Structure 1
Amino acid sequence: MADDGVGPEVTFSDGDSVRLTVAVGRDNFQDLAGDHARDTMRLTFSPFRSPCSHVPATVLDLDAPPLFDRGVVRDDAGLREAFLRDHRALALAGDRFLDEWDLSRRPGVVLATFRFTEKHVRALGRHVESETSARCSPYALACGAAWAGVVHARGNRSGSARFGFVTGCKPRAKPLIPANYFGNCLGQCRVEAKANGLTAAAASAAIWRVIEGLAEEGRVSSFGFMS
């Protein structure tokens, strides 16, 4: 990334290659990859590098060549520049800002996985529809379950609970973005609800209403984009 304020660019020349990093550990992989609670200190590996000679590009048979023009994505909120400033700040600070996110550096912290299976998604979807008449997407259902779980775990009993998330805006943008656009089109969204008694069904319905609102004329651009 350039330091002169110019945005980053990805370039490729014929014959370019990348390095493949291989992480090697002596711990039990099956145990580390399980769903039960694991000590996060065990998830730290000592990687070493072995160069990869060439990574071939996959050629796609498209009706039109990929479109790389970022100008087709509106950014009225100026998110692109905001993210670039954040990335530059992180680059200057090294890894200090990210230390708090590295659970492997916190002794006594465990990590567990809770599976949200298709069976759970369908059951929650039926529950939401029976209570709110909302037919939520699987993404909204998963976000709702996570949000309600966090609120419940924190023991919030009063006030408001807020949840921020991103969602795909390509099919909702005005004007429409060409189908051959090669890049992301994500809108930043936020939702607020009463913390007391927030259920997964209520949370999912609230999130889905925000996502549906993005399709309204002019609403998408008010949230901004990342591309």
Structure 2
Amino acid sequence: MASLPILTIIEKCPVSPPPATVGNKSLQLTFLDVLWLKFIPVHTLFFFDLPITKTHFTQTIVPKLKNSLSVTLQHFFPFVGKLVLFPTNITRMPEIRYIEGDSVSVTFAECNLDFDDLSGNHPRKCDKFYHLIPSLGNTCKVDDYITMPVFSVQVTLFPNCGISIGMTNHHSLCDASTRFCFLKAWTTIASHGSDETFLANGTLPVFDRVVKYPKLDESYLKNAKVETINEDYQLPRLSGPTDKVRATFILARTVLGGLKQLVSTQLPTIAYVSSFTVACAYIWSCMAKLHNKNELALFGFAIDCRSRMDPPIPSAYFGNCLVSCMATAKTNVITEKEGFVIAAKLIGENLQKMLTDKKGVVQDIVPLADRFPNGMPTIMTIGVTGTPKLKFYDLDFGFGKPKKHETVSIDFHGSISMSASKESNEDLEIGMCLSATQMDAFIRIFNDGLKEYLV
């Protein structure tokens, strides 16, 4: 007997802003966007407890999400535009261009996987999540330029259990801060049925290109090698089967407090110890023990530099406005007994140096290729995506706040995700993707370490 399909498509449709509300527009990228041109797409997934039938889903939820998305897009036109690249004119900056009639691809589907299993914290098979994530669509050649879609949505029903809303965006479109502003607008409009409340109380995006560093634009565009992109170009796509599993770890406020106290006691001269710093340091030291090799280890994370530019730029600035901060150490240094504290010192010092540099954060921004002219060394690399400052668990489309938030794109490169927890904004929620064997070992290392440090 043939098994039932995991995913059944109910409807696939284009969603555009209301007619004549936007007009033809374009938004030129800056070097902070060009940095992400060939980077992996961002896959975000929300689960909502919503025990409804397929009939209720198609008659109520589907039209509500379509209509509210359409209204939202008129205020955030780049989400419905296309990335435009100029391979034959390598000095021309890429742009996101909206032409009247452009649309976002939205898929509505039904899934027979276990909703409670997928929305848990325990280790779950990574490839199950790939059914819930939309692709961006194909690259297209038009005259002398190339276009790519930058945003897509998939809403999936788990009958009588809940729904998931999966989103994919090209990273050159925006960073997490802009994406959160977009989602805040969409959820507000969906909850109230119009954009009146959003316009009265929300924040409209700032499209002015206030980040002006022509030399950096030129340098980053050169490193992007846009001339190699043609109509066959595809961004990386997640696909299974895979032996990887994903799990979520919660570092509660009391645990974070204990870790901060430990660092402050052993490093009394350290300027400031944050929850983010000790969380990163603890994960870094645990991952080093997991690899159990004496090699170079790099830990990197992004800093939103809107408020740190000189002069500062608006918090609602649309696009990417991130700079990277990195710490390096030999793994044997951060796996010894005091390894966690050393890791916290290294991360804290690099963070403090960047944030207090009087010359501004931009002076240290150089393409990764320039940092490692001979290629990336063979090292254990961990990166953090997300930030605890954005409260994704507060988003509500009108049918309750999310049961679970997942950053599925960490599956690409072994990064970790970090966000404020559902239970408390002072707790941290950390998502990880590892092979099943590595995950079992990491869970043991993670739990044993907390017992040792917080006795």
- Shorter-chain TM-score: what band? 0.7 to 0.9
Q: How does 1:39-54 map to 2 (within 5 A)?
A: 39-45=125-131
Does residue 176 in structure 1 map to residue 336 in structure 2? no
Distance 2:340 2:230 in 1: 35
The change in CA–CA distance for 1:65 and 1:44 in structure 2 (over 3 A counts) is closer
- Contact 2:297/2:328 (CA < 8 Å) preserved in 1? yes
Distance 2:120 2:362 in 1: 41
Aligned length: 213
Distance 2:346 2:292 in 1: 20
* Structure 2 partner of 1:94: 234
Q: Deviations over 1:175-205 (max 9, x none)?
A: 2213455134211222112321413332222
Does residue 138 in structure 1 map to residue 275 in structure 2? yes
User: Which has more strand, going by share of residues?
Assistant: 2
* Structure 2 partner of 1:200: 340
* Structure 2 partner of 1:224: 365
Does residue 68 in structure 1 map to residue 207 in structure 2? yes
Does residue 34 in structure 1 map to residue 152 in structure 2? no
| Greater RCO, 1 or 2 (C-alpha within 8 Å, sep 6+) | 1
* Structure 2 partner of 1:2: 84
- Contact 1:141/1:204 (CA < 8 Å) preserved in 2? yes
Distance 1:204 1:90 in 2: 44
- Contact 1:121/1:141 (CA < 8 Å) preserved in 2? yes
The change in CA–CA distance for 1:120 and 1:11 in structure 2 (over 3 A counts) is farther
State the SS of the aligned residue for 1:163. Answer: strand
* Structure 2 partner of 1:210: 350
State the SS of the aligned residue for 2:249. Answer: coil
Distance 1:204 1:211 in 2: 10
RMSD: 3.8
Q: Deviations over 1:80-117 (max 9, x none)?
A: 5368657x85974325xx25xx3x51343322222223
Q: How does 1:145-156 map to 2 (within 5 A)?
A: 145-156=282-293
Shift of 1:10: 5.4
Q: Deviations over 1:130-185 (max 9, x none)?
A: 122332223222322222222121113x3432222211223333x22134551342
List runs of 5+ in structure 1 lacking aligned partners. none
- Contact 1:73/1:185 (CA < 8 Å) preserved in 2? no
Distance 1:44 1:188 in 2: 28
Q: In terms of mean alpha carbon deviation, does 178-187 or 138-147 score higher?
A: 178-187
Shift of 1:12: 8.3
Shift of 1:30: 0.6
* Structure 2 partner of 1:118: 253
Distance 1:90 1:144 in 2: 41
The change in CA–CA distance for 1:80 and 1:25 in structure 2 (over 3 A counts) is farther
Q: TM-score, normalised by structure 1?
A: 0.72
The change in CA–CA distance for 1:170 and 1:6 in structure 2 (over 3 A counts) is closer
Matched residue type, 2:234: G
The change in CA–CA distance for 1:200 and 1:84 in structure 2 (over 3 A counts) is same
